[in-house]
Structure 1
């Protein structure tokens, strides 16, 4: 063999090995069969059937409470105020040993549903308070000797109501509060008049039925039927009646 051919053959073999390896590396990569991959079921993330589940899960976390906006105030256009005319029968505690002295009673009442400011949905319709003024009077005697008695009740009383119905416009309530009673008596003997006045602490408590059917978007009819006791000093007066007004 020619002495120069041997180095040429060795050089050709040295370059052929990397080229062969590169040719093997350029072979296409095998992928799984597409049909087999499509037939495999895909697992999707599960969602709870209860739309409130996420909120129930997160509301236990103190930092998550602020992430949810309560829309109760925007859904209900009412402000929670009402004014009513009160009429009924007041059974005045009798000073003559009888069961009671029945007499006509009238007054006005203003209501504020303060549960709306607490931002708690169950308390919006159940907590409210009244400012009430009522009066009742009686007279007895003869043409020569007689007396005239009148008492004014002024009280502030919060209440808790058990609402029912889809619209939550009706409910049964219990109420307790306090104030004062101003009473005046005039004893007439002929032309001589002797006035007697006094102020006594007042305790008010009772139960009743309350309704607020809607008249328009922002106005409701407000009414009640109630049985209420007024304890002035050591005397107990019982009111049985109702009221009618509007709420907005």
Structure 2
């Protein structure tokens, strides 16, 4: 009786091994989850961070909605105020009333410059726009021991300028300038011991070009200099100044 049951037991054992293996594979299979997009409880995927650390900044910089989130810091690390004072010297070629091309004389003056581009909080304009408050004086005298005539002309002007800067430190540039003001002229005629003086004022137009430099000598101070060709039109007369200036910039 036991011998008859032995083949049945062996057959049952042979069939149970594949069934156990199949059941084990089903247990080890990953559990199927619902689609993440359809599940409200599924965690959200975080966006991959860009390998370029400036990519997010560039994206937000171009986004008009995010522009207000960034504070412009142009010039925050610049201790300079953009103020310059210079002494002007050169030759003044004054329009001649005697039919000559010009009457050359010595020109002297003072100039104060304000680099107002620094208050615009715009990096390209910081070093390129500025304005001058200028006084220049030139005089002529001629005559004999008996009759002498002399003229002194004072040029007062305010003239903004635009400068094309170059160099790594942006301390040198070529500029063009246009402004206006007035010319105050005094003329005296001396005959023997008698002197007659005449004074007058005329509107003034100033325009010209030049080269400007501000090499730095310390963190807060620089040497300022210019070489310029400037015209002063007073009334119907044109005076030309050829010279330069030197001073200090803060």
**What's the TM-score once normalised by structure 1's chain length?**
0.80
1:30 matched residue in structure 2: 29
Contact 2:184 2:200 in 1 (8 A): yes
Aligned with 1:181: secondary structure? Answer: strand
Q: 2:162 aligns with which of 160, 165, 173?
A: 160
3-state DSSP of counterpart to 2:168: coil
What's the CA shift for 1:28? 4.8
Q: Is the 8 A contact 2:183 2:201 kept in 1?
A: yes
SS across alignment from 2:76 = helix
Q: Following TM superposition, by how much is the alpha carbon of 1:48 offset from its aligned partner in structure 2, in angstroms?
A: 3.8
| 1:18-167 superposed matches below 5 A | 28-31=27-30, 45-48=49-52, 51=54, 53-167=55-169
SS at match of 1:71: coil
Deviation readout 1:182-221 (Å, 9 max, x if unpaired) = 0010011111111111000000000000001111010011
SS at match of 1:75: coil
Give the match's secondary structure for 2:158: strand
Q: Which of 57-66 and 181-190 deviates more?
A: 57-66
Partner of 2:169: helix, strand, or coil?
coil
Alpha-carbon distance in 2 for matches of 1:104, 1:55:
57
Aligned pair 1:173/2:172, yes or no?
no
> Could you tell me how far 1:69 is from its partner in structure 2?
2.5
TM-score, normalization: structure 2?
A: 0.80
Runs of 5+ in structure 2 lacking a partner? 1-22, 32-46
- What is the total number of aligned residue pairs between the two structures? 212
Structure 1's unaligned 5+ residue stretches are 1-23, 33-42
The 2-side partners of 1:106 and 1:124 are apart by 29
Counterpart-to-counterpart distance in 1, 2:116 and 2:48:
47
What is residue 227 of structure 1 aligned with on the other side? 229
User: What is the distance in 2 between the residues matched to 1:47 and 1:143?
Assistant: 88
Does the 8 Å contact 2:213/2:226 carry over to 1?
yes
SS at match of 2:80: coil
1:46-85: per-residue Cα shift (whole Å, max 9, x none)?
4348x3x544433343332222232222221111101000
Contact 2:135 2:154 (C-alpha < 8 Å) held by counterparts: yes
Displacement, 1:88?
A: 0.5
Counterpart among 182, 186, 189 of residue 191 in structure 2: 189
